[in-house]
Structure 1
Amino acid sequence: MDDFIKQYPIYTEIPVAWGEMDALQHVNNVVYFRYFESARIDFFNQINLFSELQTANIGPVLADNHARYKRPVTYPDTLLVGVTISDVQSDRFMMHYTAFSQAQQAVTTLGSSLVVMFDFKTGKKSKLTGKLLDSLKSHEKQV
C-alpha cells in the first residue's frame, strides 16, 4: 500500500458498501464510475477547479469514460482510488484512475475520463484559465 501512495499522492479513500454488490456477490460494474467520480471531485477540490464554476460559470464535463476490471471487489473492503492527469490541452485533459483494494493489497480496477471545460452560459466548450492550466500541468504525468 505504501508503494501505491507514493505512486499516487492524490488519492481518495472509499469504503465499499454492502449495497454496492450485485447478485454475483461482487461490486457491480457501474459502481466504479461513482468511485471515479468521488476521486475526480476530490481532485477538482484540491486544485480549486470549482471556483471557476462559481465565478465564470465554466466547469468540467465528461466527454468519455472507461473502466477496466482486473479483480472483483467484495464487501468489506476499502479502496484507494489514485488520480493522475495526462494530455493537458487548452480546453481538455485526461484523468486516469487506479483503484487499490486494501483487503487484497492489489490494484482491482483502472479507469479514465476525458474531461472538457464547458461554458454553461453559452452551451459551448471553453478554454481552461491560465491558473487551472498551470495547476493541471503541475499534476500531469506521462502515460
Structure 2
Amino acid sequence: MDDFIEQHPIHTEIPVAWGEMDALQHVNNVVYFRYFESARIDFFTQIGLFKELQTASIGPVLADNNARYKRPVTYPDNLLVGVTISDVQTDRFMMHYTVFSKAQQAVTTLGSSLVVMFDFKTGKKSVLSGELLASLKSHEKQV
C-alpha cells in the first residue's frame, strides 16, 4: 500500500458499502463511476476548479468515461482511488483513476475520464484559466 500512496499522492479513501454489492456478491460495475466521481471532486476541490465555476460559470464536463475491471471487490473493504492527470490542453485534460483494495492489497480497477471545460452561460466549450492550467500542468504525469 505504501507504494500505491507514493505513486498516487492524490487519492481519496472510500469505504465499500454493503448496498453497493449486486446479486453476484461483488461491487456492481456502475458503482466504480461513483468512486471515480468522488475522487474527481476531491481533486477539483484541491486545485480550486470550483471557484471558477462559481465566479465565471465555467466548469468541467465529462466527454468520455471508462473503467477496466481487474479484480472483484466485496464488502467489507476500504478503497483508495488514486488520481493522475495527463494530456493537459487549453480546454481539456485526461484524468486517470487507479482503485486499490486495502483488503486485497491490490489494484482492482483502472479508469479514465476526458474532462472538457464548458461555459454554462454560452453553452459552449471554454478554455482553462491560466491559474487552473498551471495547477493541472503541475500535477501532469506522462501515462
Which of the five TM-score ranges fits, normalised by the shorter chain? over 0.9
* Residue 43 of structure 2 is aligned to residue 43 of structure 1: yes
1:142 is aligned to 142
> 1:18 and 1:12 mapped to 2: Cα distance?
19
Measured in 1, the distance between the counterparts of 2:68 and 2:141 equals 20
Task: Give the partner amino acid of 1:24.
Answer: L
Shift of 1:102: 0.1
SS in 1 for 2:131: helix
Measure, in 1, the Cα distance between the counterparts of 2:45 and 2:112.
Answer: 18
What's the % identity of the aligned pairs? 89
1:97 is aligned to 97
Q: 1:112 is matched by which residue type in structure 2?
A: S
Q: Give the deviation of 1:117 after TM superposition.
A: 0.2
Report the 3-state secondary structure (helix = DSSP H, G, I; strand = E; otherwise coil) of the residue aligned with 2:35.
Answer: helix
| Aligned counterparts of 1:102 and 1:94: Cα–Cα separation in 2 | 26
Aligned residue identity for 1:11: H
Q: CA RMSD of the aligned region, Å?
A: 0.2
CA distance in 2 between partners of 1:42 and 1:108 (Å): 20
Please report how far the alpha carbon of residue 61 of structure 1 lies from its aligned counterpart in structure 2 after TM superposition.
Answer: 0.2
- Deviation (angstroms), 1:81: 0.1
> Aligned equivalents of 2:54 and 2:47: distance in 1?
14
Gaps of at least 5 residues in structure 2 are none
DSSP-derived class of the 1:138 partner: helix
Cα displacement (A) at 1:93: 0.1
One-letter code of the match for 1:120? Answer: F
Distance in 1 between residues matched to 2:29 and 2:125, nearest whole Å = 30
Uncovered stretches (5+) of structure 1, i.e. residues with no partner: none
SS at 1:44's partner residue? helix
Alignment partner, residue 62 of structure 1: 62
| Alignment-derived partner of residue 2 in structure 1 | 2
Distance 1:48 1:91 in 2: 16
**Hey, which bits of structure 1, 4+ residues long, moved more than 6 A?**
none
Q: Distance in 2 between matches of 1:5 and 1:48?
A: 22
Pairing of 1:71-86 with structure 2 (within 5 A):
71-86=71-86
In 1: Cα distance, 2:41 partner to 2:132 partner: 15
